[in-house]
Structure 1
Amino acid sequence: MATQGFTTCLWFDGTAEEAAHYYVSIFKDSSIGRIGRSNEAGPGPAGSVVTVEFTANGHRFIALNGGPQFTFNESISFQIHCADQKEVDHYWARLTDNGGEPGPCGWLKDRYGVSWQVVPDELIDMINDADPQKAARTTRAMLAMGKLDIAALKRAYAGE
């Protein structure tokens, strides 16, 4: 395997370039790379965008204008690990604006239908705590939330 690892390909219906710029505007360590265009042989009109290489938060992606045959669903999602509530709030707001949809338990869909999990780093430790009561209280609190509230999760964890 090449030392560069994996690249995630995201299938869009004509909005690949727009989506790539959207993701680059949200995440640090992001940039647009090569833009592949159709030539006289196709697959679309000569000069139309087929692929856009981009990096978001250091992860490599290709946005592909593949057509309407396939759409995103919740069976695949990206987790955003957040250090604090400010990061949770930032990503939640940016990814749900202009047509995004908030979901349960820190999940959301962005305007393109891509699913994301906006997760505070602390949550993973709390719900996997060796004390089953602490873990259960935190899990119950999480299951009742949309956007995750770290202070409320900590209160549940502590039994308050």
Structure 2
Amino acid sequence: MQTCLWFDGRLDEAAEFYLSLLPGSRILHRSVYEEGSGPPDGPDMTGQALTIDLELAGVPYTLLNGGPQFPLSEAVSIVVTVDSQQEIDRLWEAIVGSGGRESQCGWCSDRFGLSWQIVPRRLNELLAGPSAEPVMKEMMQQVKLDIARLEAAAR
């Protein structure tokens, strides 16, 4: 079982970018459009990637080059749980700093339109504790999550 993510071109570029984000990631298989093929009513895509099966930190995904009919949206996101503010900052800069955009509460999207949630493991602990309400309120005010501010809200 794996998730399929629909793209409109630039599949190889997206796959290489995703591999650079998460250690332990790799391409498993790449298929291409055969001669004269492409999405219905679309351009000839001969030789372009049709699908790329990959693992991101051990989680399987298929990237599909299906055309513009179904654009990526925040309805689907990849959640990355991290242990440190340094890792939040690294991923945020890589995703947003290379043409992506910020959202709120730890959400951002990359230059291909795929949404990401960069979440500190500590947030789950704080939300399970007795100070969950002020932590949630603080989280809702943030864009990129800040562990120190979340912990301060718990105190």
Structure 1 gaps, min length 5 = 1-5
Moved over 6 A (4+): none
Q: Secondary structure at the match of 2:5?
A: strand
The residue aligned with 2:83 is 83
Partner of 1:156: 153
User: What is the match of residue 69 of structure 1?
Assistant: 69
Q: 1:21 aligns with which of 16, 39, 49?
A: 16
Residue 48 of structure 1: how far off its partner (Å): 2.4
State the TM-score, normalized to the length of structure 1.
0.88
- Amino acid of the structure 1 residue aligned with 2:154: Y
- 2:93 paired residue number: 93
Q: Distance in 1 between matches of 2:142 and 2:135?
A: 11
- Is the contact between residue 17 and residue 63 of structure 1 (CA under 8 Å) also seen in structure 2? no
Which residue identity does 1:31 align to in structure 2? R
Distance 1:45 1:157 in 2: 53
1:30 is the counterpart of 2:25: yes
The match for 2:136 is 139
Segment of structure 1 superposing worse, 35-44 or 50-59: 35-44
Whether the 8 Å CA contact 1:33–1:54 is kept in 2: the answer is yes
Pair 1:46–1:74, CA change in 2 (3 A): closer
Residue 97 of structure 1: how far off its partner (Å): 1.8
Q: How far, CA to CA, are the matches of 1:150 and 1:100 in structure 2?
A: 22
Per the alignment, residue 115 of structure 1 pairs with 115
Whole-angstrom distance in 1 between the partners of 2:55 and 2:61: 6
Give the aligned partner of residue 6 of structure 2: 11
Q: Please, what TM-score do these two structures have when normalized by structure 2?
A: 0.90
Cα RMSD after superposing both structures: 1.4
Distance of 2:104 and 2:77 partners within structure 1? 14
The CA deviation string for residues 113-155 of structure 1, in whole angstroms up to 9 with x for no partner, is: 11111111111121222x2xx1111111111111111011111
Aligned partner of 1:25: which letter?
S
Equivalenced residue count is 150
Give the 3-state SS of the residue equivalent to 1:62 in structure 2. Answer: strand
Deviations 1:69-90 (A, max 9, x none): 0111111111110111111111
